[in-house]
Amino acid sequence: MWPQLYEWLALFIKWFHVIAGIAWIGASFYFVWLDNNLRTPPEWKLKKGIKGDLWAVHGGGFYEVAKYQVGPEKMPEHLHWFKWEAYSTWLSGTLLLFWIYYLRAEAYLIDPQVMMLSAGQAVSIGIGGIAGAWLLYEGLLRSPIAEKPLLLSVILVVLGALFCYGFSQVFSGRGAFIHMGALIGTIMVANVWVKIIPGQRKMVAQVSAGEAVDPAPGLEAKRRSVHNNYLTLPVIFLMISNHYPMIYQHHYSWLILCALIGLSAWIRHFFNLKHQGIDKPSIIVSGAIGLLLLAIFVSWTGSRSQLNAASTASSTVKQNALTSAQQQASAIIQQRCSSCHSRTPNDDMFTTAPGGVMLDHWQDIDRWKERIIARATVSKDMPFLNKTQMTEQQRQQLQQLLSAE
Ligand code: HEC
């Protein structure tokens, strides 16, 4: 029952995470769009302190939105805050990271070919890496470097690339990518939590008390929002990246990831300018061409799996030392799974190992044991569409052999 229940719970958390993420990023896109589209209002509204207004039609009605320069004279009775979208996205994302990558670290997070780690070590590096990155970011933004936007941007980009590289040197491909996603998501939520919301609280308190509003926290909040805005497209890419082994499995996965993050932020820049009425098609065209060239280049140069093919020979020697149960299990997997799940797949459709699952050696099979049992003997949805015609008897046999291990 457990493998299936585990999957059900993973589904619920992931489902919730995606919903929360849509609500957060949707609200974020909407407010950035709103801000960029505000127009100078007529004189009588300016006198009330309204800096910009906007008319829109949606859902069968007209909307009039007004943005006050510093705050209304009197606090309205109902004031909507937007914070739980961000918090719930982070909380569910963290739960998902634990549920999938930390609870199943042996399969998803650790790749012995990259680095031999225990589950405890891998999880500590993961949490430490994310927390360390956030502290670095926060420290930089509070330091004198923050006064020099260009220098700050260069340092942040270099640090980002270093983390991409670092994670790729300790974790499996998927593990490295999800950690970059978690790292960026954490910085974004922390921006909401430590600067944007407290800044707004201060502002609301000053308006309620009838005091003059100090613009400094608002400006800092705006800067953090801008950072978050540029990080939205990269973080969404990272959320879906674990469906694409040809990227995370690649020998230079970290470089490809850096390029994807940079290009997607560049494309976001086009939309930011466009909403302000500045049309620069060259940005989106160059971004799209960049992505296409990246795809062509990476497809042309081949994947890590092919580069790693040479290592197959050395490990076959160890295969002799296997018990007879291990040999039998290996033989079944060789026959029914390896056409797709190999460093050198020969399936007509799947040219890089799906899910990053490569089952060439006993060491690999051991690493993926639980997931093999779950997919080939419990849910029985592997082999994919039973393309390799695995028999019911082989499934039972595999279950017995692997469970005994
Ligand atoms: C025809 C190709 C093909 C064959 C053969 C095949 N698989 Fe898969 N496998 C896939 C695809 C595609 C995915 C990714 C989609 C998914 O997870 O449903 C996948 C994913 C997986 C995963 C990752 C799931 C996870 O939980 O992350 C495991 C484990 C797996 N397969 C095990 C097996 C085993 C064991 C066999 C042999 C008994 C096998 N597969 C045979 C195509 C194949």
Tokens of 208: 């309620």
In 3D space, the residue among 236, 223, 238, 229 whose CA is nearest the CA of residue 269 turns out to be: 229
Statement: residue 282 has pLDDT above 90: yes
**Residue 241 · residue 182 · CB < 8 Å:** no
Nearest CA to ligand 1 atom 17: 355
Distance CA 266, CA 281 (A): 12
Contacts of 90 (CB under 8 A, 6+ apart): 185, 186, 189
Tens of pLDDT along 376-401?
998 899 999 899 999 999 999 999 99
pLDDT of residue 70: 74
Q: How far is the CA of 190 from the centre of ligand 1 (A)?
A: 37
CA-CA-CA-CA dihedral for 185, 190, 195, 198, to nearest 10 = 120
Nearest CA to ligand 1 atom 16: 355
Q: How far is the CA of 156 from the centre of ligand 1 (A)?
A: 38
Whether 332 lines ligand 1, by a CB cut-off of 6 Å, is no
**Residue 113 · residue 308 · CB < 8 Å:** yes
Whether 367 lines ligand 1, by a CB cut-off of 6 Å, is no
Distance CA 179, CA 110 (A): 12
Amino acid identity for residue 136 in this structure: L
pLDDT of residue 285: 95
Tokens of 313: 């020979």
Q: How far is the CA of 384 from the centre of ligand 1 (A)?
A: 6
> Percent of the chain having pLDDT more than 70?
95
Distance CA 51, CA 33 (A): 16
Distance CA 271, CA 258 (A): 21
Nearest CA to ligand 1 atom 35: 372
Contacts of 53 (CB under 8 A, 6+ apart): 38, 39, 41, 45, 64, 65, 66, 67
Ligand 1 atom with the shortest distance to the CA of 398: 38
In 3D space, the residue among 362, 360, 386 whose CA is nearest the CA of residue 375 turns out to be: 386
Q: How far is the CA of 403 from the centre of ligand 1 (A)?
A: 19
- Angle CA 329–332–326, to nearest 5: 15
pLDDT of residue 317: 46
Q: How far is the CA of 382 from the centre of ligand 1 (A)?
A: 5
Distance CA 383, CA 66 (A): 57
Whether 339 lines ligand 1, by a CB cut-off of 6 Å, is yes
* Whole-number average pLDDT of the chain: 90
Q: How far is the CA of 381 from the centre of ligand 1 (A)?
A: 8
Nearest CA to ligand 1 atom 4: 383
Whether 355 lines ligand 1, by a CB cut-off of 6 Å, is yes
Q: How far apart are the first and last CA of the chain?
A: 19
Average pLDDT estimate for 303-309: 48
**Residue 27 · residue 85 · CB < 8 Å:** yes
Q: How far is the CA of 354 from the centre of ligand 1 (A)?
A: 6
Nearest CA to ligand 1 atom 43: 384
CB-hemisphere CA count at 13 Å for 47? Answer: 3
Statement: residue 405 has pLDDT above 80: no
Tens of pLDDT along 337-367?
999 999 889 998 888 899 889 999 998 999 8
> Percent of the chain having pLDDT more than 90?
61
**Residue 244 · residue 26 · CB < 8 Å:** no
Distance CA 242, CA 354 (A): 10
* Range in 36-45, 139-148, 215-224, 295-304 the model is least confident about: 295-304
Statement: residue 312 has pLDDT above 90: no
Average pLDDT estimate for 61-67: 93
Whether 376 lines ligand 1, by a CB cut-off of 6 Å, is yes
Distance CA 367, CA 376 (A): 15
pLDDT of residue 228: 92
Whether 382 lines ligand 1, by a CB cut-off of 6 Å, is yes
Category of 231 on φ-ψ map: left (φ > 0), alpha (ψ -120 to 50) or beta: alpha
Whether 353 lines ligand 1, by a CB cut-off of 6 Å, is no
Tens of pLDDT along 85-112?
999 999 999 999 999 999 999 889 998 8
Ligand 1 atom with the shortest distance to the CA of 108: 27
Whether 104 lines ligand 1, by a CB cut-off of 6 Å, is no
Q: Which residue from 384, 390, 403 has its CB within 8 A of the most atoms of ligand 1, so it is best to mutate?
A: 384
Statement: residue 2 has pLDDT above 60: yes
Statement: residue 23 has pLDDT above 60: yes
Average pLDDT estimate for 160-185: 96
- Angle CA 186–192–194, to nearest 5: 90
pLDDT of residue 305: 47
pLDDT of residue 72: 83
Q: Which residue from 382, 388, 398 has its CB within 8 A of the most atoms of ligand 1, so it is best to mutate?
A: 382
pLDDT of residue 388: 93
pLDDT of residue 319: 56
Average pLDDT estimate for 239-263: 91
Tokens of 258: 């850096």
Average pLDDT estimate for 127-133: 98
Q: Which residue from 99, 243, 341 has its CB within 8 A of the most atoms of ligand 1, so it is best to mutate?
A: 341
Query: 310 falls in which pLDDT band (50, 70, 90)?
Result: very low
| Residue labelled with tokens 């197959």 | 312
Query: 318 falls in which pLDDT band (50, 70, 90)?
Result: low
Distance CA 219, CA 215 (A): 6
**Residue 247 · residue 241 · CB < 8 Å:** yes
